[in-house]
């Protein structure tokens, strides 16, 4: 399986980075990532992670490509 980066909207990436930089959880703990994103006000990130379970798991290993647009 080739590791292609996962395209994500800029607003989603912003929330993922905020959660990651907080150091409050391991990014593999998807339910906690969703919870922290919501608490931090990144509702779009929480919804994306919830709705894109497979893509989220893939991006943890392959990285992301930030889509233009968004915030």
Confidence (pLDDT) at 1: 54
**Cβ-contact 9, 68 below 8 angstroms:** no
Residue 38 lies in a domain: yes
**Cβ-contact 19, 37 below 8 angstroms:** yes
Summarize the confidence of residues 29-40 as an average pLDDT: 98
Domain that holds residue 27: 6-67
Residue 53 lies in a domain: yes
Confidence (pLDDT) at 21: 98
Q: Helices (DSSP H) in the chain: which residue ranges?
A: 10-22, 30-39, 43-51, 53-62
Residue 1 lies in a domain: no
- pLDDT interval class at 9 (50, 70, 90): very high
What is the number of alpha carbons within 13 Å of residue 69 lying toward its C-beta?
4
**Cβ-contact 62, 6 below 8 angstroms:** yes
Tell me if the pTM is above 0.85: yes
Residue 39 lies in a domain: yes
Residue 51 lies in a domain: yes
What is the number of structural domains in the chain? 1
């Amino acid at each position: 399986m080739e590791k292609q980066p996962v395209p994500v909207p800029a607003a989603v990436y912003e929330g993922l980075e905020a959660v990651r930089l907080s150091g409050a959880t391991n990014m593999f703990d998807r339910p906690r990532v969703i919870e922290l994103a919501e608490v931090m006000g990144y509702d779009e990130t929480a919804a994306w992670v919830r709705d894109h379970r497979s893509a989220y798991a893939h991006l943890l290993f392959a990285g992301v490509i930030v889509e233009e647009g968004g915030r």
